[in-house]
Structure 1
Amino acid sequence: MRNVFRRRRREQQEQAVEEAAAQPVRESGPWDADEPHPDTDRIDLGGLRLPHNPDFDVRLASIGDQHVGVVVLYEESSLQVQALAAPRSTGLWDEVRAKITSQAKTLHEQEGPFGPELFGEIVTEGGPRPARYIGVDGPRWLLLAIVTGRGAVDDTVAAAFVDFLKDVVVVRGEEPMAREEAIPLRRPNDPQAPAEDATAFNPFRRGPEISELR
């Protein structure tokens, strides 16, 4: 009988350890697919899994036949999200941030909810617009987000975008990728990944084509 109790106690301890290991070690993301994170219903785009928000209009951004990012439209604002491959040993956001500021003198650094970010104005076809560049380094990836329009200056709209980013899951995969190469995405109903050779990140190149997610 004593052995039975010991075995049961050991099983309970092992179960408790497993449950503890499955709990997120941070309060919020963005999450890596291989780390414990809340198991909620998300839009599966392959390289990104996005939280559902019925108020957001979420669209895929493509260059040719390659889906390279996501555009979220909300309250006269847009949130562009892209996951980029990064080195295994170091993060990429410091380097990308310096590259952006060297080309856009109207942006300056400020502290944001995810650490250093860039804020200022960028020139668009419709004229200058307020913009925020947000970067989050993960294991072998960088999640880059660009907020333009009202969401760059309105705290309420910005908070909705920040909450969205905090629940994004990045699926890096094990395949070798070039530095700053866009982690490929796919439509939710398409099990096949898009073609390889995703375009390297350039925030000032002519924008990608935008298509709605159905």
Structure 2
Amino acid sequence: MGLFSRRKTTEPAQVEGLDALDREEAEGPDDPTGAAQDDTEGEAAGQEPEGRSAPGSEADAAARGEHLEAGPYDESEAPEEDRIDLGGLQVPTVDGMELRMEVDQRSGAVTGANLVIGGSSLQVQAFAAPKSRGLWEDVRSSLRDSVVKQGGTAETRPGVFGTELITRLPVKRADGRTAYRPARFIGVDGSRWFLRGILTGKALADPEQSRRFETLLSRLVVVRGTGAMAPQELIPLHLPGERPGLEQIRSAPLDPLARGPEITEVG
């Protein structure tokens, strides 16, 4: 196991659940290959519309790989394993993994966890969901629209957990040029909960690294609890306590959407 650190966030939108996606997640676009391209700011207008396949259909999901476990798990179904207790999430211990917690600076609330391995990061958050339906299709559509409005590109593709969203958002560099930040959004609808993962960094262009994070996501446990919660409400998290192999340190804030290859616009 690696290090534990706290990331302070200053925007309270991050503790308001999925309604904050326009401000929070749209800052993380993605090119899954990481290959350099010449892009124009008008690309988003030509983006093909997102499909509306039913969850679990052949068009909605790629074959579930043998590298995955049966999760992400609901607390009631999770197998025995040594995990780090974060309240609403339980994270398995992995050699070389660095756990960085996001803490809202104003409220002190823990808003997310970043699982960092080898220069890549998987940000995970869990939200309450209705009994009758999942949230990922609606969240994915809203996120896609937000990214496109900001001049980025967003497209869906089949993934091992179902339909994923691949985004790339333009950002201005210090030298005035435009770069693109890539990210891969993964959503899993569970039993009265929704788990969202944002993968950034080298893993976007490295299939082996990508599979490692997919395996890690499939081992997570969501602790929804029995209390009443509004749909899209963030399931509370807390900082882990001292335990072997988990050293608490302070470090510079981690922006999970700033990692990974940046593609600079030519011209």
Instruction: State the TM-score, normalizing by the size of structure 1.
Output: 0.72
Distance (whole Å) between structure 1 residues aligned to residue 212 and residue 168 of structure 2: 21
Would the alpha carbon gap of residues 28 and 47 (structure 1) be closer, same or farther in structure 2, given more than 3 Å must change?
same
Distance (whole Å) between structure 2 residues aligned to residue 67 and residue 138 of structure 1: 22
Distance (whole Å) between structure 2 residues aligned to residue 171 and residue 124 of structure 1: 36
Distance (whole Å) between structure 1 residues aligned to residue 129 and residue 172 of structure 2: 31
Residue type at the aligned position of 1:107:
A
Instruction: State the TM-score, normalizing by the size of structure 2.
Output: 0.58
Pairwise CA RMSD of aligned residues? 2.1
Aligned residue in 1 for 2:50: none
* 2:205 paired with 1:153: yes
Distance (whole Å) between structure 2 residues aligned to residue 109 and residue 144 of structure 1: 15
Q: Deviations over 1:157-197 (max 9, x none)?
A: 1111101000000000111112211111111229xxxxxxx
Gaps of 5+ in 1: 1-25, 191-208
Alignment partner for residue 46 of structure 1, among 72, 76, 87? 87
Would the alpha carbon gap of residues 43 and 125 (structure 1) be closer, same or farther in structure 2, given more than 3 Å must change?
farther
Which one has the largest radius of gyration? 1
Aligned residue in 2 for 1:115: 162
* Secondary structure of the structure 2 residue equivalent to 1:34: helix
Residue type at the aligned position of 2:233:
E
CA offset at residue 119 of structure 1? 1.1
Contact 1:136 1:142 survives alignment (8 Å): yes
Would the alpha carbon gap of residues 163 and 124 (structure 1) be closer, same or farther in structure 2, given more than 3 Å must change?
farther
Distance (whole Å) between structure 1 residues aligned to residue 205 and residue 139 of structure 2: 22
Alignment partner for residue 90 of structure 1, among 130, 133, 139? 133
Aligned residue in 1 for 2:72: 30
Would the alpha carbon gap of residues 183 and 104 (structure 1) be closer, same or farther in structure 2, given more than 3 Å must change?
same
Q: Deviations over 1:41-86 (max 9, x none)?
A: 0001111000111211111112231112101222222111000111
Instruction: Report sequence identity in percent.
Output: 42
Residue type at the aligned position of 1:73:
V
Contact 1:29 1:166 survives alignment (8 Å): yes
* Secondary structure of the structure 2 residue equivalent to 1:104: helix
- Greater relative CO, 1 or 2 (CA 8 Å, sep 6+): 2
Distance (whole Å) between structure 2 residues aligned to residue 150 and residue 121 of structure 1: 15
Distance (whole Å) between structure 1 residues aligned to residue 192 and residue 120 of structure 2: 29
Contact 2:69 2:218 survives alignment (8 Å): no
Residue type at the aligned position of 2:96:
D
Distance (whole Å) between structure 1 residues aligned to residue 155 and residue 86 of structure 2: 32
Would the alpha carbon gap of residues 28 and 97 (structure 1) be closer, same or farther in structure 2, given more than 3 Å must change?
same
Distance (whole Å) between structure 1 residues aligned to residue 235 and residue 169 of structure 2: 25
Stretch deviating more after TM superposition (73-82 or 117-126): 117-126
Q: How many residues align?
A: 167
| Pairs within 5 Å for 1:164-203 | 164-189=216-241
* 2:109 paired with 1:62: no
The structure with more strand, counted as a fraction of residues: 1
